[in-house]
Chain A
Amino acid sequence: GAVVSQHPSRVICKSGTSVKIECRSLDFQATTMFWYRQFPKQSLMLMATSNEGSKATYEQGVEKDKFLINHASLTLSTLTVTSAHPEDSSFYICSARSPSTSDDYEQYFGPGTRLTVT
């Protein structure tokens, strides 16, 4: 149980375009979802936390108008990178958490999305 999927797994886009990444909890209801970014050989960097039905809380230094997060249902959150630039190329990972699972605060990670902006 506790499976999280992400789509797409890889995406290449042109500079200036927007890209949407979907994160789904497949077999549980995720009250909280997290979006991370990871550059090569660096730690996971939390971008934002979203709770179903409310606005996402962004970490300091993350532009909320550039990284749009929507958590419209208990099983789906989306991250849209708007007007992407080459420096946005990174590995984007979502995770989901639900107090109803056996390890209350465990985060279940999606497989990640490799974004390349040309």
Chain B
Amino acid sequence: GQNIDQPTEMTATEGAIVQINCTYQTSGFNGLFWYQQHAGEAPTFLSYNVLDGLEEKGRFSSFLSRSKGYSYLLLKELQMKDSASYLCAPMDSNYQLIWGAGTKLIIKP
């Protein structure tokens, strides 16, 4: 079957760095997306990895290891507005996104 595993909740301090891990199992693989979702709002795109390695985009970076079925999202210089849920969504062989419940990130002053 298809499965996404992310921590349910994480807490970090403003200004710090946090890494959100994601392991996945899918029927085929065509890349992996990370989305941010604030409470009561729709998801917004953060990153897309299709090859192994690290993709850096400002304060956010995303890493992928296809052989390990593993990805992480790294958030630097945390700000209060980064408090949100972070969704790891791999794309299967049919180009469908597989969604987990996401990781709720709480930022404390």
Q: Which residues of A contact B (CB under 8 A)?
A: 41-46, 49, 91, 93, 103, 105-112, 114
B22-71: which residues lie under 8 A (CB-CB) from chain A?
Answer: 30-31, 33, 35, 40-45, 48
The answer to whether B48 and A103 touch across the interface, beta carbons within 8 angstroms, is yes
A interface SS class: loop
B59-109: which residues lie under 8 A (CB-CB) from chain A?
Answer: 87, 91, 95-97, 99-102
* Given contact pairs A44-B99, A46-B99, A105 touches B40 in the complex (Cβ within 8 A): no
Query: How far apart sit A114 and B43, CA to CA, in the bound complex (Å)?
Result: 14
The answer to whether A105 and B30 touch across the interface, beta carbons within 8 angstroms, is yes
B interface SS class: loop
Which of B41, B42, B96 has the most chain A CB within a 10 Å cutoff?
B42
Query: How far apart sit A111 and B100, CA to CA, in the bound complex (Å)?
Result: 20
Which chain A residue shows the least CB distance to B98? A46
Query: How far apart sit A114 and B30, CA to CA, in the bound complex (Å)?
Result: 31
A and B contact pairs by CB, cutoff 8 A, 20 listed: A43-B87, A43-B100, A43-B101, A43-B102, A44-B87, A45-B99, A46-B96, A49-B96, A91-B40, A93-B42, A93-B43, A105-B31, A105-B95, A106-B45, A107-B33, A107-B97, A110-B42, A112-B40, A112-B41, A112-B42
Query: How far apart sit A42 and B37, CA to CA, in the bound complex (Å)?
Result: 12
Residues of chain B with a CB closer than 8 A to A105's CB: 30-31, 48, 91, 95
Residues of chain B with a CB closer than 8 A to A114's CB: 40
